Amino acid sequence: MADYNEIISAYKTMPGGIIEAFHAIQKEYSYIPEEAVVAAADAFDMSKARAYGVATFYSYLKVGKRGKIVIRI
């Protein structure tokens, strides 16, 4: 598994890069760990609350581990 900072640094210069970084982190880990949100906040020079807000705003981004089976209605 790749390091959070390594993934985040690849998107740091892109407009809206935090969203792309979160998407890449989720692809690698199946969710976005809290440590990755903190690392992204530091890298993108924003508050941790704002970074967490970005991570939780989009329905396709998950900040908690998901179960083995996901049921959607």
Rounded Cα gap, residues 23 and 31, in angstroms: 9
| Residues of the domain holding 18 | 4-57
Residue 37 is predicted with a pLDDT of: 95
- End-to-end CA separation in angstroms for the chain: 32
The structure's pTM equals 0.84
Residue 52 lies in a domain: yes
Classify residue 22: in a domain, yes or no: yes
Q: What integer pLDDT is reported at residue 70 of this predicted model?
A: 73
Does residue 69 fall inside a structural domain?
Answer: no
pLDDT, residue 1, reads: 54
- Predicted pLDDT of residue 2: 65
Q: Tens digit of pLDDT per residue, the chain (73 long)?
A: 568 899 999 999 998 899 999 999 999 999 999 999 999 999 999 999 999 999 999 888 998 887 778 777 8
